[in-house]
Chain A
Amino acid sequence: MTLIGVPGRSGGIAVVRRLAGHLARGLVMILVVTTISFLIIRNIPGDPMAAKYEKLVEQGMSPEAAQQAVNVLYGFMPTGSMWEQYLDYMKGLARLDLGQSLTVPGTGVGTVLMSAAKWTLIPVLAGTLLSFLVGIILGVYAAIKRQGKLGDLLAISGSLLHGVPQYVLALLLGAIFTTLIPILPAGGTADIMFEPGFNAGYIGSLIQHATLPVVTYALASYGGWILAMKSSVVTVLGDDFILAAELRGMKRSIIFRYIARNAILPLFTILALSLGMLFGGAIFIERIFNYPGLGLMLIDSITGRDYALMGGAFLLITVAIIIANIAADLLYTVIDPRVRSGGEAA
């Protein structure tokens, strides 16, 4: 078997070694981050049971009955000293058991996470890829036409959108498309009236509901991509090989490809890292559009002091980022020959 883009047996061994090193470092990193997040989470002040008790008495339950009902939930809280809790948690992790959720008593943390993760992947993945595609294409154009008005306009639009916080964009788009011109739904994932499955109605409803979160996410990230791509292209434009290509009288489309291919390299690393951040969710966007992904789940777990669920969410984010880092490193090896050959080609 030959790894894609890796010439020869010795190159393959080098990549495998590199991968093994990354994985070992990644595991250590996961252990460290898990330990730190465990300590932080367990030391967050606040009593979720007191809040539940207050809610029950407010609903008319007698104080004693409310206390009993709350005591039942204590069965789902971790017990023992901090050290014992840590050991229990790590033993569970070794068995891939993330524990039981406190906010959804009796349900495994893994189940809750997976259920929320798919709704985060839709807007964040779609938004990231959309903004990346649009951002790099317009970024190249803005760099080439940087002396013209259109180039300026694109660069300004990038700076503006890059500077506007996600939540401001989300509120603005929400106000326009759900209230002023109410053509898009204000929340949820799909109209429940449609039978879930591969049918036009359901898929259309999914798209309708995902439109605002995806567009907001794409607009919020587009500015960063266009500015990064423009800057990268401007750097490449000054390289000798572009001048040589122009002097040889090559077609503009070929020169454009040369520019784009070389300028995009640093952005691939950023893209890979952005994809690793997918599981961090888009907290403000999900909250504003009531889109039930990991971001919204994380807020709920913090409010409810659901230690196991918080721990699971942070672990998922950590693992995703570490994998993305490894993938970015390997991807760079594949797409940039200079890195692959240890700089010999440069």
Chain B
Amino acid sequence: MKRVAAVVSLLSLAAVTATACSSTSKGGSSASGGGVFTTIDGFKPGLDVNGPINPWNPKGNMFQGYNAMKLGWVKNTLTDPNQFYPGIAATWEIAPDNSSVTLHLQPNNKWSDGKPVTAEDVKLSIALAYTQGSTAFSTAPGAAGAASDVEIVDDHTVKITQDMSNPSVTFVRGVMDSFVVPAHIWKDAIPANFWDTLKASRGEGAEADKARAEITALSDKVLAFAPAKDVSSGPYTLERMNPGEALLVKNKNFYNAANVGPDQVKLLNYTGNEQIWNYLISGKLDNAPFTAVPADVMKRIGQTPGNAVVKGFSPVSVAMAFNQSKKPYDNVHVRRGLAYLINRDEVTKIASPEGGTPALTTTGIHQKPAEAWLGSELSQLEPYKLDVAKAEKEFKEAGLKKTGGKWTLPDGKPWKFTINVPAPFSDWVSAAKAVTSQLNEAGVSAEVLTSADYPLYLSELAAGKYDVGFWLVALGPAPYNIYQRLYGASNGWSILGGKIKHSAPGKDGNWMGSPETINVEGVGKVNPGELTGKLNTAPESEQKAIISQLAKAANQDLPVIQLWDYVNTQFINTSRFTGFPENDSEALRLTSGVWLQLGMIKKK
């Protein structure tokens, strides 16, 4: 018994010492320099000590902006996908016809082991990117915006040329958005003859197929490649981690080390939003990226000293998408009637009061870039404001009948409007319930069904099992990416070998089932999938006209009803650090690692 008591006493002493040491440790760090910046990595839910130090591995322990560096950091702009903050590249020159980009690397940048960052590192990283799937570095025949040549001009200059047989306006973005790793560590991950194999893969025929297969076969090896220690060119290197936290320490060799504030960064593990809420309520985090937060939790977060919210543009909207293979949703009047019955202001207030703004109308684009792309045309589109009379008119035009206060199908059979949503997405579930409540009040018998999780939801959606489901749209800023959500593979259009192909509803992942062509008022007959494909290659001057046609088509035909536009709601705590981005900053969608490396964050 005495032994047990002694052990218990020792353990209690250790716990007390830990508490004491914990505060001492943090205090000591603050005194010696820039303090400890605590955050979570939005790209890495679920830290994993088994993950390799590999930026391409989904569980890799390289964290964007901290110890993982890209050539440049994409700015959060409304319409231009080719705006960047410097990363490994200090400056860049884009050819007027977008045919090439010449990168000038940071002149004084070194890896954390003291070796200089050179053009060889960039070239090897590009080779690795080819094995992992990348917009600019793709071996797929006819891929739009793929590079055709990578040339080392000198130790600190690399020129990358686009294959102009199928160019894309997002080519430069594809290049800049690439990770760079040290060649002296990673050189064994790919064979020495890689570039010859890549050259062979660009042709046609059996030899090219074989070469492409060889490159594809490297993907697993590259993904599993695990350097023994972190050699970083970023502002921090990974010191150690446990399943709950990762500790990164300042890399004195980083080109902008003198301006990097905190000495250390602590990344906390999370697997769900509620853990982030707890961290925020307890005041632990200096920054948390966009997190959906219900109103009551928001109130509690706001009560913690120093906590504040920064808001900005987020190119994502939520929509209710129809499966037009199912009746009566193949009838545009039914879709329009439903749009007139949904009060989007109310839905947004209930589902996403802090993280969303009600959609002005349905265009396929987020409201802010829609204003920039469409200008005054936006106000001429049908806003689909709550209007029961208009809804009734549309339903009657579709042949629906109202008996006993309930709308029925044209043949008099009952009509049940069923919305499917994934159960873990609390804002979508709330929104779907709000929509069904509004529809039930208007005489449309409506219900919500939830799927156990997102993978199940997506597979059933793609299999065409749902009548109506929630769907993310407007994923910009690249216009092609935006409209691909409405008129891409899920609606029958895919790009094969640079050519647009349309598949019938129910085939090749086409679960939306829109008609292949639509008669758009004031425009004429359009093929929205073909127009979307053109957005990939059309210069900016032509893009505006195409977007105008697509916005009109989406607004008139309503393959989806846009409900709300997401707002990038970030949390910061100003008790320990200052210099956080302001509202609507172009840095807001980047990790705080990028803010730190740009020298924005300073200790208070």
* A residues with CB within 8 A of B: 45-48, 50-52, 54, 57-73, 75-76, 101, 103-107, 111-112, 115-116, 119, 174, 178-179, 182, 186-196, 200-205, 207-209, 211, 287, 290, 292, 296, 299-300, 302-305
Contact = CB atoms under 8 A, between A and B. Distances in A.
Contacts of B485: 57
- State the main secondary structure of chain A at its contact with B: helix
Contact of A104 (B59, B131, B316, B481): B59
B269 A201 contact: no
> Top 6 nearest A-B pairs by Cβ distance?
A188-B244, A106-B224, A204-B18, A68-B133, A292-B243, A46-B455
A64 B144 contact: yes
Contact of B481 (A63, A115, A302, A305): A63
B354 interface: no
A340 B522 CA distance: 93
Given A107-B51, A187-B269, A60 B455 contact: no
A47 B465 CA distance: 14
B41 to A, nearest CB: 12
B21 A194 contact: yes
Given A71-B216, A115-B243, A187-B270, 16 more contacts: A60-B74, A62-B481, A69-B132, A69-B133, A72-B131, A103-B58, A106-B223, A106-B224, A106-B226, A179-B281, A186-B282, A194-B25, A195-B240, A201-B21, A204-B11, A305-B455
A192 B245 contact: yes
- State the main secondary structure of chain B at its contact with A: mixed
Contacts of A66: 133
A188 B242 contact: yes
Given A65-B174, A72-B219, A115-B50, A192 B22 contact: no
A189 B243 contact: yes
Q: Which of B25, B143, B242, B472 has the most CB of A within 10 A?
A: B242
Interface in B465-483: 472, 475, 478, 480-481
Interface stretch (B105-113, B322-330, B456-464): B456-464
A208 B143 CA distance: 54
B278 interface: yes
Contact of A208 (B19, B51, B484): B19
Contacts of B489: 63
Contacts of A200: 13-14, 17-18, 21
Interface residues of B, number: 85
Given A104-B51, A179-B282, A188-B244, A62 B224 contact: no
B49 A115 contact: yes
A104 B485 CA distance: 29
Contacts of A47: 455, 458-459, 462
Nearest to A202: B18
A148 B126 CA distance: 78
Given A105-B59, A290-B244, A205 B18 contact: yes
B195 interface: no
B604 interface: no
Interface in B253-278: 266, 268-272, 275, 278
Contacts of B145: 62
Nearest to B139: A68
A63 B455 contact: no
Given A192-B241, A193-B22, A186 B15 contact: no
Contact of B475 (A60, A71, A290): A60
B14 A207 contact: yes
Contacts of A52: 58
B55 to A, nearest CB: 12
B453 A46 contact: yes
Interface in B1-58: 11, 13-19, 21-22, 25-26, 29, 36, 43, 46, 48-52, 57-58
Interface string B233-256: 000000011111111000000000
Nearest to A292: B243
A68 to B, nearest CB: 3
Nearest to B168: A62
Contact of A54 (B36, B269, B472): B472
B240 A48 contact: no
B140 A106 contact: no
A48 B459 CA distance: 9
Contacts of A182: 282
Contacts of A71: 133, 216
A43 B472 CA distance: 27
A73 B21 contact: no
A52 B268 CA distance: 22
Contact of B242 (A186, A196, A208, A305): A196
Given A105-B58, A191-B18, A204-B14, A50 B462 contact: yes
B63 to A, nearest CB: 14
B28 to A, nearest CB: 10
22 contacts: A46-B456, A46-B459, A57-B485, A62-B145, A65-B138, A69-B133, A72-B133, A75-B219, A106-B226, A107-B50, A116-B243, A186-B282, A189-B243, A191-B245, A192-B266, A200-B17, A201-B14, A201-B25, A204-B19, A299-B271, A302-B453, A303-B455
B22 A45 contact: no
Nearest to A112: B50
A119 B453 contact: no
Contact of B275 (A46, A61, A179, A290): A290
A179 B278 contact: yes
A63 B21 contact: no
B194 interface: no
Contacts of A75: 219-220, 223
Contact of A190 (B25, B244, B268, B282): B244
A72 B132 contact: yes
B495 to A, nearest CB: 7
A189 B224 CA distance: 26
Contacts of B478: 60, 62
Interface string B44-86: 0010111110000111000000000000001000000000000
B157 interface: no
B140 A64 contact: yes
B170 interface: yes
B452 to A, nearest CB: 8
B583 interface: no
Contact of A51 (B18, B266, B269, B455): B455
Nearest to A304: B455
Q: Which of A46, A67, A287, A300 has the most CB of B within 10 A?
A: A46
B220 A189 contact: no
Contacts of B244: 187-190, 192, 209, 290, 292
Contact of A111 (B13, B14, B50, B282): B50
A262 to B, nearest CB: 23
B134 A178 contact: no
B182 to A, nearest CB: 19
A292 B462 CA distance: 33
B359 to A, nearest CB: 17
A128 to B, nearest CB: 17
Contacts of A103: 48, 58-59
